[in-house]
Structure 1
Amino acid sequence: MTVHGVTPFNAEPPRAALADRVLTPLDAFYSRNHGPIPALDPGGWRLRVDGLVGRTSSWSLTELRDRFGSHSETATLQCAGNRRAGLVEVRDIPGEAPWGPTATATARWTGVRLADVLDDAGVDPAATDVAFLGTDVSEAATPPQEFGGSIPLRKARMPEVLLAWEMNGEPLPPVHGAPVRVVVPGYIGARSVKWVHRVTVADRPSQNFFQTSTYRLLPPDVDPARTAPGDGVALGLVAVNADFLAPDDGAEVDCGPTRVTGYAFAGGDRTVVRVDVSPDGGSSWIQADLGEQAGTWAWRHWSATVDVRPGEQLVLARAWDSSAALQPADPASVWNPKGYANNSWARLRLRGRSAHTA
């Protein structure tokens, strides 16, 4: 793993660890944290459901399972800072981890549907949002506070949103939110709050620091240190995005036909319908072969064969989603002072090695 920080622990795998795998192994799943990783006893964990509900309730893990059963969903999570390194190449972004293209991963999540828990509590007609609070405490806020965030009530009531206790058929590891985390398919990873212990139904979005001040898309000329809570645009749905997984960026490969692979993902309820690959920096394009669609909320892997010539070569990739949205070409056009949501065309630099090169 490339470790971007030890405390809090933030790390992403090498590209090859994700290549040609629809489901990401647990030891290759990126880790994004905002404070020390809590060590919680599953037997003592409880979930409080409160706010604009008819009945405030508290659930143990066993009670949740017994009352609501279990459901599974294959879903991709993607950090809002995924591919930030590409924006750093345009202009420096101080104080933010230089995430590469692998702060994204896919798992088969199992847990209870949040909608069932909300229906059991009885939601007030005035409610508009559902907020989550984790057990992890972050020093990034002043004073330090637990990590949290919210999603619209209409999304919270969708069947794909889970309170999950399993990944790929195994219990959640502590680093990924054990004993229970929220999984919000189609939204930035920050909304899938880990170590969740409280769900609050409200008539406004969460006022947590990480909702009001951190995960915000700011104009390029704004100094983040001078912004007030609520400035900018709250990040939510993931924009259509794609990148390469193999070969690695900067790799030296034999000249001739070369297989390149990658992933593509679109948030919301959109799916990836096409990926184009350019072997010559954008002068010409071919359509890539798309892999299986493991579910509405999952990425698609893709592959294409390009002709590699001697010397340096720039290969590009761009994805289209089911709304006909296309990734923007230039990373400079999406640069922002926090380095979020870089979905510009993917760039792969290769060096062709001829047969005569020793």
Structure 2
Amino acid sequence: MSTDVFPGIRLYLMRLVCKQSVLTLKELLTGCLSSQIKKATRFYVKAIEKSSPLPIISQEEVTRHRSLKDGVWVTYQGGVYDITEFVSIHPGGEKIMMAAGGAIEPFWSLYAVHNQEHVLEILSEYKIGELKAEDLKKQSTFKSSDPYSSDPERHPALRTNSLKPFNAEPPPEILADSYITPTAFFFKRNHLPVPQVDPDLYRLHVEGLPRGVLTLSLEELKTRFPKHTITATLQCAGNRRSEMNKTRQVKGLNWGFGAIGNATWSGAKLRDVLLAAGYGPDVAQWARHVQFEGLDKEITGSAYGASIPINKAVSEEGDVLLAYEMNGKDIPADHGFPIRVVVPGVVGTRNVKWLGKIVVSAQESSSHWQQKDYKGFAPGIDWDTVDYKSAPAIQELPVQSAITTPAEGSVIDRSEEMLTVKGYAWSGGGREVIRVDVSVDGGKTWKEAKLKSSDKEGDQTSPPLGRAWAWKLWEITVPLPPEAQELELICKAVDNSYNTQPDTFGPIWNVRGLLSNAWHRVKVKISEDDDEE
């Protein structure tokens, strides 16, 4: 029998216990409640007792409950909880709805205040079942002709741009809430089905060097080479494409401003592996590129591939990793398990996932994604005149910033008097963001935001010159203009080479909608305080 036999009684009891926390259940049943409430309460308690053990519920069923109309269900450590009644009294407001239909752990890792005993006690009141074991282990035995049938599960809060291949970004309002982006909410950019890789059978092949092919197992990669950790931001070349689309139609996934994330990455340095494979001064005479090939393949059998300049690959300051950990844990399937290349300061597409092969070469990768995509063109070039050979492949990205809160179209209560604006800023090539300018009047006047270099309060640590791989979060609080009914908020970042963002998208428009980094603009309205009437 469901524990929600009498949701009204349950809510009544919950509110009464909140007000009279010293009362026991026995006192509630024998106290001054009406006979009808007593009778219903006793029936409710018996229903709970009879319902043990709790029913087994599938993730598919949980996912169906993502609204107040259908119910709001979440999972936590194998349990399923119906928190519909709690949504209206949640201290964090409607952000709890982003967890609807999925796991709540990623949100609790982001908002660590939840990791307290009394919060767990509140949650326990809403438990309705246990998650199906197969779903809990995230092991799928289903196979079909669909090459995407074995793709991993994703958190339902992600904003999906395409299902096959899967591409999604986090809810924008939480993007700048944590300096380190929780793995579950890190944007997903896949070009092909996610490959299934057995870590025990995995082998990495390093080719193109005088000593022949060097083959490494995952264990050898972990034990033969020192482990290095960096914090680095990855950004898709199409981040903020949706804004460029408004200027003139482009081709590509309609990314918002969430195709970016900041994580800690651990693994072996690419430099160390290349040296072990025979890279030296003689090779440096002719080598110009390092090619990467993934284990994700098209139906034709051709693999995803990309390449980076040899100087970036072998530089001690380049910090290129063959990463096997993300945010302190094994890299998950969507992000390249068991090994991905992390090329800090360089466009995300060169950070090849599910790495299977490395080739030192005099030529760039011949891959489609190196030769006929991810290149920038002049605004006057269209699909009839584009010549991919005429432009170099994108490597380092330009300076970027965006406003994450408040959201476009938000209504600000004038009685609050002050407005807090938050966002992120980053620049490619290891260039450090040194300033973020914010305007609340459409660019007429500007104020400088406070930058944040970590989750530590007041931390203003600067990275070594040329190795600023991670983003800066920023924040500013300003008074609401007394007469304004609508505000146009704008942000623009400046890096330590004094590069700044262009004010509009027209001059940087290109057919693929790449390198979209014009000033970010958000319009909000101000509501009048009616209390004076």
Q: TM-score normalised by the shorter chain: which range applies? A: over 0.9
Q: What secondary structure sits across from 1:77 in the alignment?
A: strand
- Aligned sequence identity (%): 39
Residue identity opposite 2:469 in structure 1: W
Q: What secondary structure sits across from 1:214 in the alignment?
A: coil
Residue identity opposite 1:137 in structure 2: K
Match for 2:234 among 77, 84, 100? 77
Is 2:333 the counterpart of 1:174?
A: yes
Is 2:455 the counterpart of 1:302?
A: no
Residue identity opposite 1:221 in structure 2: G
> Which structure has the bigger radius of gyration?
2
> Corresponding residue for 2:520?
346
Match for 2:401 among 226, 242, 251? 242
Alignment of 1:6-25 (within 5 A): 6-25=163-182
State the TM-score, normalized to the length of structure 1: 0.95
**8 A Cα contact 2:375 2:388, kept in partner:** no
Q: For residues 329-348 of structure 1, what are the alpha-carbon distances to aligned partners after superposition, in whole Å with 9 as ceiling and x for unaligned?
A: 11111111100001111111
Distance 2:339 2:309 in 1: 20
Q: For residues 203-248 of structure 1, what are the alpha-carbon distances to aligned partners after superposition, in whole Å with 9 as ceiling and x for unaligned?
A: 1211111000011112223234664552323111010000011111
- Structure with more of its chain in strand, by fraction: 1
| Cα distance, 1:52 vs structure 2 | 3.6
> Corresponding residue for 1:149?
306
**8 A Cα contact 2:379 2:506, kept in partner:** no
Match for 1:103 among 259, 264, 267? 259
Q: Which runs of 5+ in 2 are unaligned?
A: 1-157, 455-460
Q: For residues 113-171 of structure 1, what are the alpha-carbon distances to aligned partners after superposition, in whole Å with 9 as ceiling and x for unaligned?
A: 000000011122311110000011247xxx56211110011100134100001111011
Change (3 A) 1:228 1:326: closer
Distance 1:71 1:90 in 2: 43
Higher relative contact order (CA 8 A, sep 6+): 1
Q: For residues 53-84 of structure 1, what are the alpha-carbon distances to aligned partners after superposition, in whole Å with 9 as ceiling and x for unaligned?
A: 43321000001111103110100000000011
> Corresponding residue for 1:127?
287
- Structure with more of its chain in helix, by fraction: 2
Is 2:191 the counterpart of 1:44?
A: no
State the TM-score, normalized to the length of structure 2: 0.64
Is 2:468 the counterpart of 1:312?
A: no
Residue identity opposite 1:116 in structure 2: D
> Corresponding residue for 2:451?
290
Match for 2:219 among 34, 41, 62? 62
Q: Which runs of 5+ in 1 are unaligned?
A: none
Distance 1:336 1:288 in 2: 30
Q: What secondary structure sits across from 2:372 in the alignment?
A: helix
Residue identity opposite 1:64 in structure 2: L
Aligned length: 354
Alignment of 1:123-272 (within 5 A): 123=279, 124-125=283-284, 126-138=286-298, 145-159=302-316, 160-224=319-383, 227-255=386-414, 256-272=417-433
Change (3 A) 1:116 1:288: same
| Cα distance, 1:86 vs structure 2 | 0.9
Q: For residues 259-302 of structure 1, what are the alpha-carbon distances to aligned partners after superposition, in whole Å with 9 as ceiling and x for unaligned?
A: 00000001102100001001100000001111126752100000
| Cα distance, 1:349 vs structure 2 | 1.2
> Corresponding residue for 2:248?
91
> Corresponding residue for 2:438?
277
Which stretch shows the higher mean deviation, 345-354 or 72-81? 345-354
Change (3 A) 1:225 1:72: farther
